[in-house]
């Protein structure tokens, strides 16, 4: 089996191609956090008064909270005073077209393979992108096409100016400002994010996507995404993230709120590829994220799909509150931890309305010294008639120094509920490998095939282009690993 | 999920009891034992009773226990008739405790050669050295406040030692009866089963009245190489009786330990069962049934630790909840680094038969080795409508059909009870509990 172990080792070793730094002048606040910093951020964003008050009350609340200690994670405490809470590439006026964007930024996104030039897009693969660089949105594409069908897709700061009533109505309505430690911090200092509104009966004509990039040193990224799908509308939203390779840990504490009204459907996909740290566990992003969707109306549906391959530490539980009758929540996740990465991720499905359904499929892969935990809650409240849940959490172990853990919680207070949970943990079977080898596959192809097969249930939920990227990320450059 | 707002329980009451009893507690002259007692007391004074803020107790409110001041009984009333509690046709060695004290007359202490059964108080008086190396070696030192309270205030218990190579035909039946109003019984038991030995134990927790009582037991079990043990915990107390039952087991190489926890009674029952598989090729079964009604609450907290290679474990808990009852299942499997070739399975199935019943289940896997096969599954649901319909078409009325199906559901565990008279008695009790009204 020695060769197999080498195989696995080479399979999971790879360079972080997105680890470069863009040299650009930035307007960065000095590290530190107090009420003045929050006032400055709010002023820079020219925010309405209500938002500043909201931020300040979140901050005051946060001061009285404690960092969560229950996750199965191990890391030194975060020094919040050493982080800069705002960093923006310098640019003078509002941009009319892509030509006015700093070429260095364009180059950055080109290097990352993010399509922000509408002309260069392939016909048929239309994705509208909001590119967020540190604390600000650089560019949002296809705005015109989208606005023709009434879809609003813009940076949150712009939405605050153009549609304050929508923001005011929904911001914090799913994740209240004091929800948890990192959500409270985000509420106080968030600097950017995307805002999406899909009007009644509209099926969003293209995939919407936000691409997050941390560039500046010692900064934290605190974005806040708000997606509202009005009655009978549909939207598919993608999110990607990368960061330069640095020795310090950087904090990313985002909040995502989804609201689906009667008959609306939101599909939210994430490919998280923050810098994971080096092979000795040095550096990497702390990814402490609160994501939650509310099915506010009848027959609403929210689906989370995530592929988590990056970050030194991941702490996130995309959840769905199934408030409307017949609403549906889904969670599909692949989480990979390698080297010294740690992940504590999962979901919460709260069944409140009648005839609600939820499905949870979680696939964890641990390699190196990685620690991978699934943590999930399925809750059926007393009035939730005929709730149905199915959960499956599988873990794959590669090597004897990693760990895979499962912590599901099921709380059921209604006798008409049917809740099922299954979890398995194993490694790649020698017989599976042998079978593939016997069919003429090389060892590396066999392993890659088995790993991809293991994740298939999740990958097939991803939009096409993302699925390919995810497989590549996971399939993890195999070139030259066989001698 | 609301945390219990009840403020720290009245730990002072028990610390007072200790001060009053101090000299009267067994083992007061035995330095190492007395030392242990004081350490437990210090720990109890520090941590007190658990609250729902503790992750391991989040679903179990303890108001029923912590709002009352239970008292250690100085001298129990031994004129008790145990006949109604007898399991028909069961031939066993009986050891009886009443309110935490050994009942000499009703107990068989004089067993066959190779088996020693003595009371803890007596061992501590006559031959304390015999148990020194075992005592406190299995139970977790950082366990919760109830374990500390037992360590501090235990009055008696049973010490059973089975020499290597001894096979006992008859089961050893340990009966713990709670009968005095506001009595706390805290048996502290130690069981050592030598190499290649074979034994069956039946722990029975009963109460004979409407008295409010608390039984807080700690049992340490050491299973030597290739020994085989069948262990039954049968809980049929009345609903005014509360119980915290801790069983801690260490298994050596090649040994087998099968535990069956059957909870059919008790107002509030918490079971902590922890097994450490310390030697290779050991096997452990943890099976459980809980059938609750009224306002009963049972919390099964199991921990299976795979420390060595090539061990297997199998866990299955099945429950039926009616009326306003509530059950909690927390099953943890941990596979330590190096425990390769582990095969660990765990399942929890619960039938929720009432609008007001609640189940909170929390299976948990923690795996630090790669060449393992581990799985857990949990289901929560109702009786299958199709099965019910099928039975109705065969002329069985709805109530009977429900009883039959519910019984079949738990029978998967019950039919794994090898002691026939015990199985018959449990089947009878259970059937009478499962009479449904439609």
- With 0-12 / 13-18 / 19 or more C-beta atoms within 10 angstroms meaning exposed / middle / buried, residue B394 is exposed
Percent of chain A's residues with pLDDT above 90: 40
Residue in B with minimal Cα distance to A381: B358
Query: What integer pLDDT is reported at residue B226 of this predicted model?
Result: 97
Q: Please state the rounded mean pLDDT for residues A382-394.
A: 94
**Which residues on adjacent β-strands are paired with residue B230?**
B200, B258
* Beta partners for residue B174, in sequence order: B95, B203
- The answer to whether the CB atoms of B337 and A406 lie below 8 A apart is no
Whether B364 is in a domain gets the answer no
H or E element that contains B392? helix B385-393
Q: How would residue B336 be classed by pLDDT, with cut points 50, 70 and 90?
A: very high
Contacts of B377 in chain A (CB under 8 A): 420-423
Q: Do residues B275 and B392 share a domain?
A: no
pLDDT digits (tens, 9 = 90+) for B363-373: 999 999 989 99
Nearest CB to A411 within list B360, B373, B379:
B360
**CB contacts, 8 Å: B343 with chain A:** none
Same domain, B246 and B101: yes
Q: Are A211 and A130 in contact (CB under 8 A)?
A: yes
Give the closest of A70, A418, A427 to B370, CB-based.
A427
Statement to judge: residues B389 and B273 lie in one domain = no
pLDDT exceeds 80 at position B384: yes
**Taking a C-beta distance cutoff of 8 angstroms, is the pair A106, A50 a contact?**
no
Whether residue B5 has pLDDT greater than 60: no
Q: How many structural domains compose chain B? A: 2
Residue given tokens 């390779």 in the structure block: A245
pLDDT recorded at residue B2: 39
Looking at per-residue pLDDT, the higher value among A448 and B393 belongs to B393
Closest residue in B to A371 (Cα) is: B368
Q: Measuring CA to CA, which residue among B202, B93, B147 is closest to residue B425?
A: B202
Q: Is A198 exposed, middle or buried (0-12, 13-18, 19+ CB in 10 A)?
A: buried
For the cut 90, the answer to whether the pLDDT of residue A472 exceeds it is no
Q: Please tell me which of the candidates B338, B357, B361 has its beta carbon nearest to residue A410.
A: B361
Give me chain B's average pLDDT, please.
91
- Out of A395, A406, A415, the one facing B354 most closely (by C-beta) is A415
- Rounded to whole angstroms, how far apart are CA atoms A294 and B329? 29
Residue of higher predicted confidence among B81 and A1? B81
| Backbone φ and ψ of A415, nearest 5° | -75, -5
**A397 or A329, higher pLDDT:** A329
| Residue of B55, B371, B381 lying closest to A418 (CB–CB) | B381
> Closest approach of chain A CAs to the CA of B343, in angstroms?
10
Instruction: Tell me what pLDDT residue B287 has.
Output: 97
Strands A127-133 and A403-412: unpaired
Residue window 37-76, chain A: list those with CB within 8 Å of chain B. 70, 72
Environment class of residue B37 by beta-carbon count within 10 Å: exposed (0-12), middle (13-18) or buried (19+)? buried
More confident residue, A240 or A395: A395
Whether A478 has a pLDDT exceeding 90, the answer reads no
According to the model, what pLDDT value does residue B189 have?
A: 96
Whether A268 contacts A237, CB under 8 Å:
yes
How confident is the model over B28-64, as pLDDT tens digits? 889 999 999 999 999 999 999 999 989 899 999 998 9
Residue B130 lies in a domain: yes
Residue A431 touches chain B, beta carbons under 8 Å? no
- The tens digit of pLDDT for each residue in B131-148 reads 999 998 999 888 899 999
Helix (H, G, I), strand (E, B) or coil at B189: strand
Q: What are phi and psi of A92, to 5 degrees?
A: -85, -65
> Mind telling me how many Å the CA of A54 is from chain B's nearest CA?
26
Position B33 in a domain: yes
In a domain, B274, yes or no: yes
Q: Do both B272 and B392 map to the same domain?
A: no
B375 assigned to some structural domain: no
A438, pLDDT greater than 60:
yes
pLDDT the model gives residue A100: 62
- For an interface test with A, give the residue of B333, B370, B378 to mutate (most A CBs within 10 A): B370
The answer to whether residue A483 scores a pLDDT higher than 60 is no
Which pLDDT score, from 0 to 100, does residue B288 have?
A: 96
According to the model, what pLDDT value does residue A280 have?
81
b/e code B330-349 from CB counts within 10 Å (16+ = b): bbbbbbbeebbbbebbbbbb
Local confidence band at B6 (pLDDT 50, 70, 90 cut-offs): very low
| DSSP label of B397 | -
Q: What is the pLDDT of residues A212-234, one digit of tens each?
A: 777 776 777 888 999 999 999 99
Q: Rounded CA gap, A252 and A182, in Å?
A: 9
- How near does any CA of chain A get to the CA of B347, in Å? 9
CB distance B380–A412 less than 8 Å?
A: yes
What residues of B are in contact with residue A417 (Cβ under 8 Å)? 352, 380-381
pLDDT number for residue A20: 72
Q: How many CB pairs under 8 A join A and B?
A: 113
- Nearest residue to A222 via CA among A273, A285, A170, A267: A285
Q: Are A201 and A231 in contact (CB under 8 A)?
A: yes
Q: CA-CA distance, B427 to B430, in Å (whole number)? A: 5
Q: Is the CB of A367 inside 8 Å of chain B's CB atoms?
A: no
A405 contacts B367? CB cut-off 8 A: yes
Can you tell me the distance from the alpha carbon of A384 to that of A172, in angstroms, rounded to the nearest whole number?
24
Domain assignment present for residue B292? The answer is no
Read off the pLDDT band of B3 (50, 70, 90). Answer: very low
Q: Specify whether B123 is located in the same domain as B255.
A: yes
Q: A414 contacts in B (CB within 8 Å)?
A: 352, 355
Q: Is the pLDDT of residue A411 over 60?
A: yes
Please give the pLDDT value at position B59. Answer: 94
| ipTM exceeding the 0.95 mark | no
Q: How far apart are CA A364 and CA A308, in angstroms?
A: 9
DSSP-based three-state secondary structure for B354: coil
Residue of chain A nearest B331, judged by CA positions: A407
Lowest mean pLDDT among A152-156, A343-347, B342-346, B394-398: A152-156
Segment B64-107, tens digit of pLDDT = 999 889 998 888 887 888 888 899 999 999 999 999 999 988 88
CA–CA separation, B355 and B360 (whole Å): 15
- Angstrom distance (rounded) from CA A215 to CA A88: 10
Per residue in B245-270, pLDDT (tens digit) is 999 999 999 999 999 999 999 999 99
Chain B residues with CB-CB distance to A under 8 A? 1, 55, 59, 337-338, 340, 352-355, 357-382
A2 confidence band (pLDDT: 50, 70, 90): very low
Question: In which band, very low, low, confident or very high, does the pLDDT at A480 lie, cut at 50, 70 and 90?
Answer: very low
- Angle at A421 (CA atoms; ends B334, B288), nearest 5 degrees: 65
Contact yes or no for A349/A378 (Cβ under 8 A):
yes
> Per residue, what are the HEC states of chain A?
CHHHHHHHHHHHCCCCCCCCCCCCCEEECCCCCCHHHHHHHHHHCCCCHHHHHHHHHHHHHHHCCCCCCCCCCCCCCCCHHHCECCEEECCCCCCCCHHHCCHHHHHHHHHHCCCCCCCCCCCCCCEEEEEEECCEEEEECCHHHHHHCCCEEEEHHHHHHHCHHHHHHHCCCCCCCCCCHHHHHHHHHCCECEEEEECCCCECCCEEEEEEECCCCCECECEEEEEEECCCCEEEEEEEEECCCCCCEEEECCEEEEEECCCCEEEEEEEECCCCCCCCCCCEEEEEEEEEEEECCCCCEEEEEEEECCCCEEEECCEEEECCCCCEEEEEEEEEECCCCEEEECCEEEECCCCCEEEEEEEEEEECCCEEEEEEEEEECCCCCCCEEEEEEEEEEECCCCEEEEEEEEEECCCCCEEEEEEEEEECCHHHHHHHHHCCCCHHHHHHHHHHHHHHHHHCCCCHHHHHHHHHHHHCCCCCCCC
Question: What are phi and psi for residue A257, nearest 5 degrees?
Answer: -120, 130
Ranked by mean pLDDT, the top range of A101-105, A239-243, A344-348 is A344-348
Give a yes or no: residue B251 inside a domain.
yes
Mean predicted confidence (pLDDT) in B206-216: 90
Q: Chain A contacts of B361, Cβ < 8 Å?
A: 409-410
Nearest by CB: A398 against B59, B370, B377: B370
**Residues forming beta bridges with residue B235, ordered by sequence position:** B205, B263
Highest mean pLDDT among A316-330, A390-404, B79-93: A316-330
Q: Does A426 touch chain B (CB under 8 A)?
A: yes
Average pLDDT of every residue of chain A: 83
* Minimum Cα–Cα distance from A406: chain B residue: B365
Domain boundary among B258, B279, B300: B279
Q: CA–CA separation, B416 vs B212, rounded Å?
A: 33
- Residues in CB range of A80: below 8 A, 6 or more apart: A33, A185
What single DSSP character describes residue B2? P
What's the mean pLDDT in A301-323?
Answer: 92
**For residues A204-226, b (16+ Cβ closer than 10 Å) or e, as one string?**
bebbbbbbbbbbbeebbbbbbbb
- Residue A199 in tokens: 């009007």
| Residue A75: per-residue pLDDT | 86
| Average pLDDT, integer, range A119-140 | 62
Whole-angstrom distance, CA of residue A140 vs CA of residue A96:
11
Adjacent-strand bridge partners of B310 = none
The token pair that represents A469 in the structure block: 């990227």
Q: Which of B197, B200, B258 is nearest to B224 (CA)?
A: B197
Question: Is B337 within 8 Å of A400 when comparing Cβ atoms?
Answer: yes
A435 vs A109, which has greater pLDDT?
A435
Q: How many CA atoms lie within 13 A of B43 on its CB side?
A: 21
Instruction: State the pLDDT at residue A482.
Output: 27
Proportion of chain B above pLDDT 70, given as a percent = 97
Local confidence band at B7 (pLDDT 50, 70, 90 cut-offs):
very low
Report the C-alpha gap between B361 and B365 in whole angstroms.
13
Taking only the tens place, the pLDDT of each residue in B294-334 is 999 999 999 999 999 999 999 999 999 999 999 999 999 99
* Mutation for B interface: A368, A382, A406, most B CBs within 10 A: A406
Q: Is residue B43 domain-shared with residue B176, that is, in the same domain?
A: yes
Between residues B219 and A90, the one the model is more confident about: B219
Of B279, B309, B339, the residue that ends a domain is B279
> In which band, very low, low, confident or very high, does the pLDDT at A475 lie, cut at 50, 70 and 90?
low
Domain end point (choices B279, B313, B329)? B279
What tens digit of pLDDT does each residue of A87-103 get?
A: 877 654 445 555 566 67
Q: Do B112 and B232 fall into the same domain? A: yes
**Structural domain for B132, as ranges:** 9-279
pLDDT recorded at residue A142: 77
CB atoms within 10 A of CB A383: 12
Q: Determine whether the interchain pair A405/B364 forms a contact, defined as Cβ–Cβ distance below 8 Å.
A: yes
- 3-class DSSP assignment, residue B216: strand
Structural domain contains residue B413: yes
CB-CB contact of A288 with A324 (8 Å)? no
Alpha helices per DSSP H over B137-277: 145-153
Q: Report the distance separating Cα A264 and Cα A235, nearest Å.
A: 9
């Amino acid at each position: 089996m020695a060769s197999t172990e080498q195989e696995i080792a080479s399979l999971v070793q790879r360079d972080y191609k997105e680890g470069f730094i863009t040299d650009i002048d930035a307007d960065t606040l000095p590290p530190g956090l107090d009420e003045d910093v929050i006032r400055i951020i709010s002023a820079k964003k020219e925010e309405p008064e209500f938002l500043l008050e909201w931020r300040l009350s979140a901050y005051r609340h946060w001061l009285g909270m404690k960092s969560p200690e229950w996750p199965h994670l191990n890391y030194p405490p975060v020094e919040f005073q050493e982080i800069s809470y705002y960093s923006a590439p310098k640019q003078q006026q509002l941009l009319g077209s892509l030509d006015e964007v700093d070429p260095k930024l364009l180059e950055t996104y080109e290097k990352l393979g993010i399509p922000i030039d509408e002309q260069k897009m392939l016909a048929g693969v239309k994705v509208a992108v909001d590119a967020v660089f540190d604390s600000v949105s650089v560019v949002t594409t296809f705005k015109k096409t989208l606005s023709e069908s009434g879809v609003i897709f813009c940076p949150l700061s712009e939405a605050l100016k153009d549609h304050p009533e929508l923001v005011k109505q929904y911001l914090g309505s799913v994740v209240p400002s004091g929800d948890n430690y990192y959500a409270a911090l985000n509420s106080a200092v968030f600097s950017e994010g995307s805002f999406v509104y899909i009007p009644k009966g509209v099926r969003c004509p293209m995939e919407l996507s936000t691409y997050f990039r941390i560039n500046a040193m010692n900064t934290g990224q605190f974005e806040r995404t708000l997606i509202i799908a009005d009655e009978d509308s549909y939207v598919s939203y993608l999110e990607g993230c990368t960061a330069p390779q640095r020795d310090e840990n950087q904090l990313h504490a985002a909040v995502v709120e989804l609201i689906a009204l009667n008959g609306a459907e939101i599909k939210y996909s994430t490919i998280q590829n923050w810098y994971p740290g080096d092979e000795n566990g040095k550096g990497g992003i702390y990814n402490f994220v609160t994501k939650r969707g509310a099915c506010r109306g009848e027959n609403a549906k929210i689906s989370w799909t995530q592929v988590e391959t990056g970050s030194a530490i991941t702490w996130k539980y995309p959840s769905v509150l199934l408030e409307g009758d017949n609403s549906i929540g889904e969670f599909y996740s692949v989480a990979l931890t390698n080297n010294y990465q740690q992940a504590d991720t999962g979901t919460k499905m709260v069944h409140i309305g009648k005839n609600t359904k939820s499905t949870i499929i979680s696939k964890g892969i641990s390699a190196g010294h990685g620690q991978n935990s699934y943590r999930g809650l399925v809750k059926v409240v007393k009035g939730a008639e005929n709730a149905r849940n199915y959960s499956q959490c599988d873990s794959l172990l590669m090597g004897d120094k990693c760990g895979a853990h499962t912590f599901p919680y099921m709380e059921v207070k209604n006798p008409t509920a049917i809740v099922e949970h299954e979890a398995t943990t194993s490694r790649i079977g020698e017989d599976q490998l042998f079978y593939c080898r016997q069919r003429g596959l090389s060892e590396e192809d066999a392993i890659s095939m088995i790993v991809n097969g293991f994740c298939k249930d999740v990958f097939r939920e991803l939009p096409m282009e993302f699925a390919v990227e995810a497989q590549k990320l996971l399939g993890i450059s195999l070139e030259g690993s066989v001698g | 999920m609301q945390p219990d707002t009840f403020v720290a329980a009245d730990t002072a009451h028990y610390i007072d009891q200790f001060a009053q009893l101090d000299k009267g507690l067994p083992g007061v002259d035995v330095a190492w034992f007395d030392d242990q007692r004081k350490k437990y007391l210090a720990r109890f004074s520090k941590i007190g009773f658990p609250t729902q803020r503790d992750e391991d107790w989040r679903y179990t409110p303890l108001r029923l226990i912590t709002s009352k001041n239970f008292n250690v009984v100085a001298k129990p009333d031994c004129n008790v008739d145990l006949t109604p509690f007898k399991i028909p046709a069961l031939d066993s060695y009986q050891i009886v405790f009443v309110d935490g004290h050994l009942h000499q007359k009703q107990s068989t202490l004089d067993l066959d050669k190779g088996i020693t059964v003595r009371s803890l108080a007596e061992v501590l008086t006559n031959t304390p050295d015999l148990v020194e190396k075992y005592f406190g070696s299995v139970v977790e030192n950082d366990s919760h406040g109830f374990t500390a309270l037992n360590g501090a205030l235990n009055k008696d218990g049973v010490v059973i030692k089975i020499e290597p190579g001894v096979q006992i035909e008859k089961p050893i039946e340990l009966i713990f009866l709670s009968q005095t109003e506001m009595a706390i019984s805290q048996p502290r038991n130690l069981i050592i089963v030598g190499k290649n030995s074979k034994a069956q134990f039946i722990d029975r927790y009963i109460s004979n009245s409407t008295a409010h009582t608390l039984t807080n037991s700690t049992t340490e079990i050491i299973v030597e190489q290739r020994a085989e043990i069948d262990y039954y915990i049968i809980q049929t107390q009345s609903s005014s009786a509360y119980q915290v039952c801790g069983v801690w087991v260490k298994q050596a190489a090649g040994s087998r330990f099968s535990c069956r926890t059957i909870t059919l009674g008790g107002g509030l029952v918490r079971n902590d069962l922890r097994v450490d598989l310390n030697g290779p090729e050991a096997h452990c079964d943890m099976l459980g049934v809980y059938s609750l009604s009224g306002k009963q609450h049972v919390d099964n907290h199991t921990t299976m630790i795979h420390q060595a290679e090539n061990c297997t474990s199998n866990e299955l808990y099945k429950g039926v909840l009616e009326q306003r009852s509530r059950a909690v299942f927390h099953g943890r499997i941990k596979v330590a680094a190096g425990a390769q070739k582990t095969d660990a399975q765990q399942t929890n199935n619960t039938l929720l038969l009432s609008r007001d019943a609640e189940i909170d289940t929390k299976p948990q896997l923690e795996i630090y080795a790669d060449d393992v096969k581990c799985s857990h599954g949990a289901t929560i649901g109702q009786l299958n409508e199709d099965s019910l319909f099928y039975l109705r078409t065969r002329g069985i009325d709805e109530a009977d059909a429900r009883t039959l199906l519910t019984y079949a559901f738990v029978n998967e565990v019950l039919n794994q009870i090898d002691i026939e008279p015990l199985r018959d008695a449990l089947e009878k009790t259970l059937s009478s509990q499962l009479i449904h009204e439609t």
